[in-house]
Amino acid sequence: MKIFALPFAPAALALVLASPACAPEEDVPLDCAGQPGDNEAPVVDFIQPGEGVSFAPGESIHFIVKVEDDRDAPGDLQVTFEDSLDGVLEVPPPRTTEMGPDGGVVDLEYAVFEFDHNGLGEGIHALVVTAVDSGGCSGADDRAIQICPEGDCL
């Protein structure tokens, strides 16, 4: 990419910065739930299994999903695991603390759902993890995996 010199930019920036805040009331910024404010949606990070990985029926699948939010404690988020073929999955509660360097327990800024699941039926699964915060904002991440005989889906 080519960078162009903009000799007028600092002056324009100064002008913008000097402008008084005079936004009319109807321009109040709305948050992710359509409410006035700046609440941000939870962030969901689907870490394992990887996209498109295939498994045999009954094979144990290791899941790792991280969720965090700008305001709510990670353990307070409403998190659901929904599978396109098998519906809502029952999952163990997340881990929200870890062992600190001095052996004490430290609160994490995120929650980690980590568990093994071996009950998914055969077929192509679209798994969606959704986190909803106390302000009604939601974030999600998804993963497609496949369950087929012998785990060989080719």
List interacting residues with Ca ion (CB under 5 A). Answer: 39, 69-71, 133
Write down the least CB distance from residue 125 to Ca ion, Å. Answer: 28
- Helix extents (H) in the chain: 9-18
Write down the least CB distance from residue 79 to Ca ion, Å. Answer: 13
Write down the least CB distance from residue 26 to Ca ion, Å. Answer: 24
Write down the least CB distance from residue 40 to Ca ion, Å. Answer: 5
The Cα 139–Cα 116 span in angstroms is 23
Nearer to Ca ion, 31 or 122 (CB): 31
Nearer to Ca ion, 70 or 107 (CB): 70
Nearer to Ca ion, 41 or 65 (CB): 41
Q: Among candidates 141, 145, 118, which has minimal Cα distance to 131?
A: 141
Backbone dihedral region for residue 65 (phi beyond 0: left; psi -120 to 50: alpha; all else: beta) = beta
Nearer to Ca ion, 32 or 56 (CB): 32
Angle, vertex CA 83, rays to CA 110 and CA 59, nearest 5:
90
The Cα 105–Cα 99 span in angstroms is 5
